[in-house]
Chain A
């Protein structure tokens, strides 16, 4: 008779004849049925499951922190803000908040920054671009276009935020909350969405005039929003006020140029 080979601890046990595989199975069954080994595994399992508890309280603290005010929106705020991006000249006067350092909910003040509208309009803009490409020439569309569009928008927004942050640093060290800046600069996706909807509905008629109008509105919107951070508001010296005015104007021009870059790439 052939000697029975011990296949239970052999890594190449699978290569043996099926007649000898019973050894492996029986030994494994004995290990699992052993209560002490069962307890050891149960202890390991408890240890692994307890790792997630640390993160639960961390997540709770994140979701209850000051950043939740950026998402505290309601229907009236969304409507008002969208109208503001399309026709900012309707809202005259200074666009300031009562207190700069306290987090204000957008439901209380229309000029408070929020992140819901920019995020939603960004995704809507990407989807509308895909839709217009699919309607006009379907052969060019592939699902990778969604990813491409999203990355272009993301990179453009990121560069804009970085540039403005650097310029503000040079200007007397003005401190702007980065999340506030991200919020202020990305309202343009809202007006770009309306532009795309107009282009899809009218099939490209008058598109150049509407584009110019939308870009001018974006410039006005950003100019008025960034005015609250410019030196002309904080200091009363005449020299600085005109300088701050010009810088804010220049920065406001950055927004339409980035939007124009976004619209011209692709398609």
Chain B
């Protein structure tokens, strides 16, 4: 419906007479103050396109390669995101494709759910998730790169974000559980520790492969454990 042109029905004597609309087939109903466009009244809306001139229907320049938008933007199917989340949750070996080309769509989904799910318990924690994530990301980036004692080898900034983001998947499970259980009990603490260790174990595998510091595996895993413990603490308390 068009917005109302004269809602109070005030008649202006100096008003110019109405002119034709650009499409003479449109009905202008003054009493109801609406403009019924051509095709609105048609019973069978699927055949609406037959009313219009077929030559003007499509745009002048036709796109030859008709790729769906997601593929055009290089965001591959949700199946890939699901695959990567499952590989984190079930300790599967991370594929080399993931190591070379990590994506941020999975972490975005995970972080959004981590922020949205606690709303059902009354906790609005977007700012803390954002803050902890940002500072943890920066500090872990500096720490990991300093611990590589070789010249020339470096982990990139956004890659760390992707690995850390996928590792938050077990904590989303903990958040879902916190909706139904009271986690401030000994069972809750045990569950929280299990989730933190789960996240750490799966992500430290990725970091080990990249950093190549197998003999310092515990030292690499401990900062990651602290990072995930922070999220766990804001979930259970």
Contact = CB atoms under 8 A, between A and B. Distances in A.
Interface of A: 1-2, 19, 26, 29, 33, 59-60, 63-64, 67-68, 70-75, 78, 116, 119-120, 123-124, 127, 130-131, 134, 138, 141, 143-144, 146-147
B61 A120 contact: no
B154 A141 contact: no
A26 B56 CA distance: 13
Contact of A68 (B20, B60, B149, B223): B149
Interface string B207-218: 000000001101
A122 B184 CA distance: 24
Interface stretch (B91-99, B104-112, B166-174, B229-237): B229-237
B21 to A, nearest CB: 8
B interface residue count range (under 10 / 10 to 19 / 20 to 34 / 35 or more): 35 or more
B219 A116 contact: yes
A124 B226 contact: yes
B96 to A, nearest CB: 23
A74 B237 contact: no
Contacts of B149: 68, 72
A120 B222 contact: yes
10 contacts: A2-B19, A33-B61, A60-B152, A64-B152, A67-B146, A74-B215, A120-B223, A123-B226, A144-B128, A146-B234
Contact of A75 (B19, B145, B147, B219): B219
B20 A1 contact: yes
Nearest to B127: A143
B148 interface: yes
A33 B139 CA distance: 44
Contacts of A131: 233
Interface string B33-68: 000000000000000000000000001110000000
Contacts of A59: 145, 154
